[in-house]
Structure 1
Amino acid sequence: MPELPEVEVVRAGLAPHVLGRRVVSAAVHSERTARRFEPGAQAMASWLGGAVVTGVGRRGKYLWLELDGVPLSVPGRSEEDDGRSALVVHLGMSGQMLVRSAAGGPVADAPVSEVPVPVGAAPAAPPAERVTAHRHLRAALDLGGGPEPGDVVRVEFVDQRTFGWWLPAPFVDVDGTAVPAPVAHIARDPMDPRFDVAAVVRVLKSKRSEVKRLLLDQTVVSGIGNIYADEALWRARVHGGRPANTLTRPALTRVVEAARAVMADALAQGGTSFDALYVNVNGQSGYFSRSLNAYGRTGEPCERCGTPIARAQFMNRSSYFCPRCQRGPRAEQGRRQ
């Protein structure tokens, strides 16, 4: 699943193509993509028609388009509300947000088939026409209002495994920051300007759960998945199975700071791509997989001490660590005795 750096790459890639543009045509081909929106795919496409994109936001692994001109009827929303709404996007396991010219060819190197576009178009949309599209296309937006007359950009949501979704939502205030309602329970992520390392350390220190389990808890700190948890723990020389409350505050601080540093490094390299599913808006892969020190390197020598990297089962997934640099709970207990 894409983690914070991969989603941030998508956010940063979308912004220059969509900001200030108006939705002239919307299509939601898959009811699974709209499964969290009770009125359904057709209603979502109609709601999107005419929306103006005024921002592209992200918190943790959640992405959203900030929209003007398409208010939602939500209980408790006042008539004085400014009408801003969000289209929340979760990429799931394989979701991609791809940008191309509405009149252009298929996404580079993608298998294609013909599908009718737009499906469930907004009332103001032009008549449907057949275009060549990715065979896993689930939804699309045609955005007009570019610098040239007739300039239209298409944003396509491609999702092979269909775990991703779109959801219209109102904004709510959380600790002085406006976020879409479905994201309100998500903690700030390490790339957030208001991220508080000391506050996260206090939460971690109060928990008896394994420190890696807590790093993956999006209500404690968001955006960290299995890859970057392992990399952060390797950098901090902490075993992910250690109960957080048994670690010192300096050790926990090293873990949190390492998470922020490793994700910044990954972001600079376009994220981590192991296959064609994790790409930016142009379909290009990231290269941080070449810089991984622990994740996926079973049996390879640790870059610090040369000990072979070990792999262990953890929460129905795998953990990768150096047995020497990152002492497990039992080894640490034996050393103290």
Structure 2
Amino acid sequence: MPELPEVETVRDGLDRLVTGAVVQDVEVFRDYSVRRHEGGPTGFADQLRGRRLAGAARRGKYLWLPLTDPAAAGEPAAALLAHLGMSGQLLVRDPAVAGEWAHPHLRVRIHLDEAPSGAHHLDFVDQRTFGHLSVTDLAPTSDGAPGGHGSPLAAVPEPVAHIGRDLLDPALDRDALVERVRRRRTGIKRALLDQTVVSGVGNIYADEALWRARVHYARATDTMTRPVVRRVLDAATEVMAEALTQGGTSFDALYVNVNGESGYFSRALAVYGRLGEACPRCGTPVRRDEFMNRSSYTCPRCQPRPRHGRW
């Protein structure tokens, strides 16, 4: 599933390539891809048609494009909201260059006009169909700070209002986040994956951050000191920032940026997906455990399991 670095890579591409474009028309090829939009496919298309894409913003794994009326003044009051799910892709295409070929898993095509990049199509492609698009109202942020990276507006799409700020958000109160983590009675990895606590961290980067911080995923948050929690959060910030420089992590064709190119951070992963391989730090074979219907990868020596989940 795309995590913060992958979604930020897509957001950056959208911001550069489609900001200022006007939606000319919308084709919905799979109704399920707009299931969160109350008006269904027809209402979705009607609310987009004629609107200008005023930028691209992101909070955690959610991204949105604020919408304005080209004939009216004022700040955006609504946005095109996207959640990529497990395999969603937003691809910017210029048929004059790329031809009229359509992706076999094309779910929604947004026809554009006036895009500075010359792009004519914004395609939503989703093989596994867990992703979705919707047009939603913007709501004021509870702290008065910008809603997400890439937008100066103190507003966020209503369905995203409960999502916590992410570790790369300049408006994040890190001291408050440390206390929020320590108040929870759960394992540290569960806390990292809870998008209401801190957004954008998924299974891959949680494992990598915990390995860097030398903390086992089952360690109980309410027994962790402030410095240890901060060390984990700093490690997660570092690993995601490094992934961003390489365009995110790709294991197959399911994650690509807006140009259809894959990221390369998978080559730098220390433990995730490396069962039995030597830990880069101590040489101990990497261990895999089942975790929340997924996997957790650890170094048994660098990250010894706490007794009863507590140290």
Q: Structure 2-normalised TM-score?
A: 0.92
Quote the residue 2:148 is aligned against: none
In structure 1, the partner of 2:94 is: 101
Q: Secondary structure in 2 aligned to 1:132?
A: coil
SS in 2 for 1:143: strand
1:141 and 1:155 in contact (8 A); partners too: yes
Separation in 1 of the partners of 2:275 and 2:307? 21
1:45-124 equivalent positions in 2, closer than 5 A:
45-69=45-69, 82=75, 84-105=77-98
Q: Work out which of the residue numbers 116, 140, 144 in structure 1 matches 2:113.
A: 144
Distance 1:142 1:102, change over 3 A: farther
SS at match of 2:189: helix
**2:85 maps to amino acid:** G
- Equivalent residue for 2:29? 29
AA in 1 matched with 2:92: V
Q: Provide the secondary structure at the position in 2 that maps to 1:238.
A: coil
Following TM superposition, by how much is the alpha carbon of 1:37 offset from its aligned partner in structure 2, in angstroms? 1.2
Regions of 4+ moved over 3 Å:
80-83, 102-106
Amino acid at match of 1:292: L
Question: Following the alignment from structure 1 to structure 2, what is the Cα–Cα distance between the partners of residues 194 and 158?
Answer: 32
What's the offset of the Cα at 1:261?
0.6
8 Å Cα contact 2:207-2:298 kept in structure 1: yes
Give the paired residue count: 300
- The CA deviation at 1:147 is 5.1
Pair 1:6-2:6 in alignment: yes
Q: Percentage identity across aligned positions?
A: 56
Q: 1:283 to 1:308 in 2, by over 3 A?
A: same
Displacement, 1:65? 0.8
Question: Retained in 2: the 8 A contact 1:197–1:257?
Answer: no
Q: Which residue is equivalent to 1:194?
A: 171
Alignment check: 8 A CA contact 2:66 2:78 kept = yes
Identify the match of residue 135 of structure 2 among 150, 168, 171. 168
Q: Which of 247, 268, 271 is the aligned partner of 2:248?
A: 271
Q: How far apart are 1:299 and its partner, in Å?
A: 0.8
1:54–1:67 Cα contact (<8 Å) kept: yes
Q: Give the aligned CA root-mean-square deviation in angstroms.
A: 2.0
Cα deviations by residue, 1:199-254 (Å, 9 ceiling, x for unpaired):
11101111120000000000000000000000000000000101111111111100
1:84 Cα deviation (Å)?
Answer: 2.4
Structure 2 unaligned spans of 5+: 145-153
Q: Check the 8 A contact 2:17/2:116 in 1, yes or no.
A: no
**Paired residue secondary structure (1:2):** coil
Instruction: Tell me the distance in 2 between the aligned counterparts of 1:35 and 1:21.
Output: 25
Q: TM-score, normalised by structure 1?
A: 0.85
Q: Tell me: CA distance 1:298–1:202, structure 2 relative to 1, closer, same or farther (3 Å).
A: same
